[in-house]
Amino acid sequence: MVTMYVPHERRSLILSLLEQRGYLRTAAVAQELGVTEETVRTDLIALQRQRLLQRVHGGARFIPHSVDRNDFSSVDSQYIRHILAHLPEHVCIYADDAPLLLHLLTHLGSLPCTLITPSLQVAEALRAPALTQQVILPGGYLDKETQLIRAEGGALRFLREHHPSLALLCPAAASSPQRISYRHALQAEWAQAASRAAQQTLLILRQEAVSNASAHSISCSPHLLIAAGDIPDSFLTIPHELVPVITIQDIRDAQET
């Protein structure tokens, strides 16, 4: 049975494989993930735009250390700049998306930072030599389907013990900023716990998330919504003083002024 991945999950896997192997062939990744070569090429282009890898003939190689930490010219980096503006000193981050987290860390540079993740895929991606941040993994049992760890005592108890200052959530689907969904129950459990335990919750809403259906829905009270694409008007009817919204148009307007 072939596992089906949404784009950001698939790209997390690609980054993890790149870190482990250094180089990947497009055809081999397509076969390993059960997708077309064109799909993999699209993923590689997206990751190269984030400057997380370098595309080469027939594949890609992993270069997280190559990001210019002072370059905020791209739209992706503009989102990172907004995230950086909300980071307290000595930040402790929970994140459930490897590409976005890696892009953030390259801009953080050597800033003291602790990362909390139950994901072996994210942890593998963080092994890059250029990334110096401390990583905390929970003790527990590995869920083979999701590659997430089931924390002994539960996700909420574990996260409250470590006091994350920021929860950076990238759901698979969202019906509103207050109602988000994940493909697996364990993913949703960790996201729910992170949103409750963290001082701030930043919700990153990818364009595909607003049209995707996903089984496991949770309530969320984000402090900031960053929409990495055009989102339905219904998302903009929420009071901005409760959940500030940064959209793709906001970024474009800022770049033109």
Residue 131's pLDDT is 67
**In the structure, what pLDDT confidence band is assigned to residue 254 with cuts at 50, 70 and 90?**
low
Who wins on pLDDT, 93 or 230? Answer: 93
What's the average model confidence in pLDDT over 182-201? 94
Mean pLDDT of 104-117: 78
Q: For residues 237 and 116, state if they share a domain.
A: yes
CATH code where residue 241 lies: 3.40.1080.10
- The CATH number covering residue 14 comes to 1.10.10.10
Give the pLDDT of residue 227.
79
Q: Which comes out higher in pLDDT, residue 56 or 162?
A: 162
pLDDT over 70 (residue 63):
no
Check if the beta carbon of residue 96 is closer than 8 Å to that of residue 168: yes
Same domain, 40 and 96: no
**Nearby residues of 161 by Cβ (< 8 Å), 6 or more positions away:** none
User: Are 61 and 174 found together in one domain?
Assistant: no
Q: What is the pLDDT of residue 161?
A: 94
Spatial neighbors of 181 by CB under 8 A, at least 6 apart, are: 171, 172, 173, 174, 175, 188, 212, 213, 214, 215, 216, 217, 218
Q: Determine the pLDDT at residue 195.
A: 95
Say if 1 falls within a structural domain: no
The mean of the pLDDT values for the chain is: 79
In a domain, 213, yes or no: yes
**Confidence at residue 69, expressed as pLDDT on a 0 to 100 scale:** 45
Arithmetic mean of pLDDT, 215-230: 84
In this structure, are 191 and 92 located in the same domain?
A: yes
Q: What is the pLDDT of residue 129?
A: 59
**Residue 241: pLDDT band by 50, 70, 90 thresholds?**
low
What pLDDT digit, counting tens, does each position of 7-24 carry? 777 888 888 788 767 788
Q: Does residue 220 share a domain with residue 108?
A: yes
**pLDDT at position 156, please?**
96
The model's confidence at residue 104, banded by pLDDT at 50, 70 and 90, is confident
Q: Mean of the pLDDT values across residues 202-206?
A: 85
Residues spanned by the domain of 23: 7-65
What is the full DSSP assignment across 63-113? -GGG--TT---SHHHHHHHHHHHTPPTTEEEEES-HHHHHHHHHHHTT--E
Q: For residue 159, what pLDDT band results from cuts at 50, 70 and 90?
A: very high
Number of domains forming the structure of the chain: 2
Given 31, 65, 99, the domain boundary residue is 65
Q: Does one domain contain both 54 and 87?
A: no
The answer to whether position 212 is within a domain reads yes
Annotate 54-77 with b (16+ C-beta within 10 A) or e (fewer).
beeeebbebbbeebeeeebeeebb
Q: Are residues 100 and 45 in the same domain?
A: no
Indicate if the pLDDT at residue 70 is higher than 70.
no
Residues 44 and 152 in one domain: no
Residue 67: the pLDDT is 45
Q: How confident is the model at residue 118 (pLDDT cuts 50, 70, 90)?
A: very high
- Structural domain includes residue 235: yes
In a domain, residue 70? The reply is no
